[in-house]
């Protein structure tokens, strides 16, 4: 088998702004072999600024203005780190990320946007909402509109700042809330001071006709629960306050040592930092020292091909650099709440519905670049193309039938200190009268992020120890790295070990060694030992007992759809967070009461429950409506998505009675780092669920054990 080209360079993009989004799309069309691309952003989706006022006005749904960074990163073959950058160690060339290992880079670009926060205005941080970042503002706006609709909140809005952004948002708010709402616009200086004469006259006329109350020449001095206090002590009533008057850079850049201009990164014609040639800055966070310009999305869009060309040039050792020279003026199309717009250029007064249709066409065409990504060869984490990629995680394991046939050929244990044979979650050794369990698990990567993959693999491996009622003890790591240079091998192993330690260390388990090798793709595994006063096996379920599940199901279908670029980013982000959640606390609550226990992994909920029924010689009934599922999983199953292990898992249907449907199909969905499945006496079940939920687990009673031959009935 021909291995992919070794990875020798790392390019890191900090922030999912418009420039970086376009770079990712262009990179996906023509990736550079041997280079790994990483995007760091705290959210799985980024909002497009051009359509935000239309969304506020009610013309566009939220999805229309969102760039799904998870899908875009998959298309580009890039790693997406869902975290917030907090610093840059330029000496080591590493980005510091909250809740994540540091990320190494050869070349770095910053496109984190700006904030409209006004920390100097008393009460703003607690009582107002900055218009930027856009996603946060859109979330808060929708919550406010829901409150107005239900009658819980008064329809009173104040917008601080009467530049183009403030006027556009005020008109959008007026249109969405209707004429009965009170909308005020506050400006300390002259409204629309940077706008041409014709456009300014048109927009002022729109404000007057719409009934937006303009407070010009009076500064806001405080935000209170009643509204905005102006100079002279007048209070403008508001239950929702929007800030648009400021444009500030994130404070974390101050500690990077980069040359800054008012907090923004100083760059030259190549978009490289004036103080570090390995670092670029684009979009609103950049200050163009050779051609200063106002903050506007048009510059961010046109910087994308320049940034891409220069990153590729540095990565390939080409000294030729492309220069960016922004235009001196540009057309601004400002929406007016209803489906109309005003054009600002050359001082002309252009106004009307035709301009709105033009703006709408421009915006939709831009977003189509990300909503309608070209169909490329599907890629797995190794970057190798295939028609339909083999699932990673537990979805990549062999089917239960093949495994059972192989295990059936093994002889019974010959040693007296080996208490169990193959088939339970972990082997049990009797040493000095104490039970020691030992198990091993490894996962083929389904995310490009080795830190996150290591955390998930650690939770997954510990599942067998937890389900036996044991306390984790010692860990051996088995890691296969994809082909890469020696320096990157060290960086990947550092991330993997740091990620694994965040799971093992709190459980008291020590990593004591392991083995590494190079192969076609990233695979992470752990062998774990644990100690237990008694072992909780599969063979203890009794009729009348309750069946408890500690985590929702659905990871298999979500990650299968994600590999095809079909799963919404927020759904994928939720599944990744779910898989990184340890089950140690849940196990410690369950172990004293559980008569049988396992963890739900590759064979799905139905397959693992049937293992308990077989070992215990009982039947069971589940209530489908009580089984928790991950957001988006049922919808993806209904759309026809499924793990590559799903067909093998469906073989147990012959021993079940249930009604077909998308949720019922999730009973066979292979889980990675899934929850604990336990049978407990009925009289303690409710109390255990309450204790588990108090500990943060999404636990539920999903059925009960019954007399009879091993068979599973699923009621709707």
Is 394 annotated as catalytic? yes
CA distance 429 to 588: 21
In order of 13, 40, 44, 523, the CA distances from 575 in angstroms are: 23, 18, 12, 19
CA distance 413 to 421: 6
CA distance 472 to 509: 5
- Catalytic annotation, pick one of 7, 300, 394, 612: 394
- Whether 102 and 12 have beta carbons less than 8 Å apart is answered as no
Largest Cα span, the chain? 93
**Three-state DSSP string of 577-590:** HHHCCCCHHHHHHH
Tally of CB atoms within 10 A around 466: 31
How would you class 535 by CB atoms within 10 Å of its CB: exposed for 0-12, middle for 13-18, buried for 19 or more? Answer: buried
Residues 6+ apart with CB under 8 A from 447: 79, 381, 392, 453, 456, 576
DSSP per residue, 254-281: GGG---EETTEEEE-TTSBBSS-TTEEE
**Three-state DSSP string of 615-651:** HHCCEEEEEHHHCCECCCHHHHHHCCCCCCCHHHHHH
In order of 193, 454, 555, 641, the CA distances from 580 in angstroms are: 51, 9, 12, 23
| Closest to 556 measured CA to CA, from 395, 664, 398 | 395
CA distance 271 to 289: 10
Residues noted as catalytic:
394
């Amino acid at each position: 088998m021909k291995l992919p080209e070794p990875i020798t360079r790392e390019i890191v993009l900090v922030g999912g702004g418009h420039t970086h989004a376009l770079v990712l799309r262009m990179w996906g069309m023509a990736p550079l072999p041997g280079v790994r691309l990483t995007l760091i952003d705290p959210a799985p989706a980024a909002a497009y600024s051009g359509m935000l006022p239309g969304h506020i006005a009610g013309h566009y749904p939220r999805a229309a203005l969102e760039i799904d960074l998870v899908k875009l990163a998959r298309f580009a073959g890039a790693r997406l780190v869902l975290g917030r950058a907090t610093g840059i160690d330029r000496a080591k060339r590493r980005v510091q990320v909250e809740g994540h290992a540091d990320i190494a880079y050869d070349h770095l670009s910053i496109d984190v946007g700006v904030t409209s926060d006004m920390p100097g205005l008393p009460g703003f941080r607690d009582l107002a909402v900055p218009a930027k970042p856009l996603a946060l503002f859109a979330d808060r706006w929708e919550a406010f509109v829901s409150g107005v609709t239900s009658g819980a909140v008064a329809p009173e809005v104040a917008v601080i700042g009467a530049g183009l952004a403030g006027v556009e948002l005020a008109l959008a708010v007026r249109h969405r809330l209707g004429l009965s709402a009170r909308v005020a616009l506050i400006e300390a200086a002259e409204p629309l001071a940077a706008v041409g004469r014709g456009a300014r006259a048109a927009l002022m006329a729109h404000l007057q006709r719409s009934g937006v109350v303009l407070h010009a020449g009076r500064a806001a001095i405080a935000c209170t629960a009643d509204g905005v206090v102006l100079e002279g002590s007048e209070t403008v009533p508001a239950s929702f306050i929007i800030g648009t008057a400021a444009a500030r850079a994130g404070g974390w850049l101050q500690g990077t040592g980069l040359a800054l201009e008012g907090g923004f990164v100083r760059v030259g014609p190549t978009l490289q930092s004036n103080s570090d040639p390995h670092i670029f800055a684009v979009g609103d966070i950049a200050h163009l020292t050779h051609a200063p310009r106002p903050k506007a999305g048009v510059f961010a869009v046109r910087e994308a091909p320049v940034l891409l060309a220069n990153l590729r040039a540095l990565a390939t050792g080409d000294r030729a650099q492309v220069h960016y020279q922004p235009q001196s003026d540009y057309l601004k199309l400002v929406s007016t709440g209803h489906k109309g717009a005003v054009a600002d250029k050359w001082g002309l007064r252009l106004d009307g519905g035709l301009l709105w249709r033009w703006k709408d066409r421009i915006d939709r065409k831009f977003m189509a670049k990300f909503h309608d990504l070209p169909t490329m060869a599907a890629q797995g984490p190794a970057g190798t193309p295939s028609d339909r990629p083999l699932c990673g995680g537990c979805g990549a394991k062999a089917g239960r039938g093949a495994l059972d046939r192989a295990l059936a050929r093994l002889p019974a244990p010959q040693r007296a200190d080996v208490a169990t044979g193959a088939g339970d979650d972990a082997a049990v050794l009797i040493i000095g009268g104490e039970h020691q369990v030992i198990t091993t698990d490894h996962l083929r990567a389904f995310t490009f992020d080795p830190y996150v993959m290591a955390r998930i693999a650690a939770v997954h491996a510990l599942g067998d120890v937890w389900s036996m009622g044991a306390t984790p003890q010692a860990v051996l790591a088995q890691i296969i790295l994809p082909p890469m240079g020696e320096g990157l091998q060290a960086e990947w192993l550092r991330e993997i070990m740091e990620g694994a330690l965040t799971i093992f260390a709190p459980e008291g388990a020590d990593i004591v060694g392991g083995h590494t090798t190079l192969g076609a793709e990233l695979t992470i595994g752990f062998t774990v030992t644990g100690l237990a006063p008694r072992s909780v096996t599969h063979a203890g379920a009794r009729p009348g007992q309750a069946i408890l599940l500690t985590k929702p199901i659905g990871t298999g279908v979500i990650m299968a759809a994600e590999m095809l670029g079909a799963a919404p980013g927020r759904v994928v982000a939720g599944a990744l967070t779910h898989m990184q959640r340890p089950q140690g606390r849940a196990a410690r609550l369950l172990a004293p009461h559980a008569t049988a226990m396992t963890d739900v992994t590759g064979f799905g909920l139905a397959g693992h429950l049937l293992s308990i029924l077989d070992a215990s010689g009982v039947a069971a009934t589940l209530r489908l409506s009580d089984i928790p599922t991950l957001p988006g999983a049922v919808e993806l199953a209904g759309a026809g998505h499924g793990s590559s292990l799903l067909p093998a898992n469906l073989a147990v249907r012959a021993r079940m009675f249930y009604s077909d449907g998308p949720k019922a199909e999730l009973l066979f969905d292979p889980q990675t780092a899934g929850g604990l499945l336990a049978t407990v006496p009925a009289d303690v079940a409710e109390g255990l669920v309450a204790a588990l939920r108090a500990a943060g687990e999404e636990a539920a009673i999903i059925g009960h054990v019954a007399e009879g031959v091993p068979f599973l009935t699923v009621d709707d």
